[in-house]
Amino acid sequence: MYKVTKEIHFCYGHRLLNYDGQCAHPHGHNGKIEIELLSKTLDPRGMVFDFGDMKEIIQKWVDRELDHKMILKKEDPLVKILKSLGEPYFEMKGNPTAESLAKLIFHYARSKKLPISKVTFWETESSRASYSE
């Protein structure tokens, strides 16, 4: 098996509902995403997938949808406030945890036909969550 990994960095804010701790309050992170692609064979160029193409596909989406936005659960009362103020936000079904963000990015990559095997989402330098199927 061949495996390639691309890192993508972005900044975001979030808060967690139904959480007893500091993350219940709005705060920000410098996130890092590791996109891992896997293949038994190489393409005609001798690659699993071109790193530049990975960046083009994933980074553009992250920049448009997540970067410098508040990522919130749909039911969060802040969504209505941010919307009324014209502030940038991104809504998720569940709490915007590292685990759910890893899954979100995994499924986006899959929807773009990337041979995705795993997404690891680093919330801080020492805390990460991974998603694979």
* pLDDT tens, the chain, 133 aa long: 999 999 999 999 999 999 999 999 999 999 999 999 999 999 999 999 999 999 999 999 999 999 999 999 999 999 999 999 999 999 999 999 999 999 999 999 999 999 999 999 999 999 999 999 9
Q: What is the dihedral of CA 105, 79, 94, 62, to 10 degrees?
A: 0
**Exposure of 92 by Cβ count < 10 A (0-12 exposed, 13-18 middle, 19+ buried)?**
middle
Tokens of 124: 């801080």
Per CATH, which fold does 2-131 belong to?
Answer: Tetrahydropterin Synthase; Chain A (3.30.479)
Q: Structure pTM?
A: 0.94
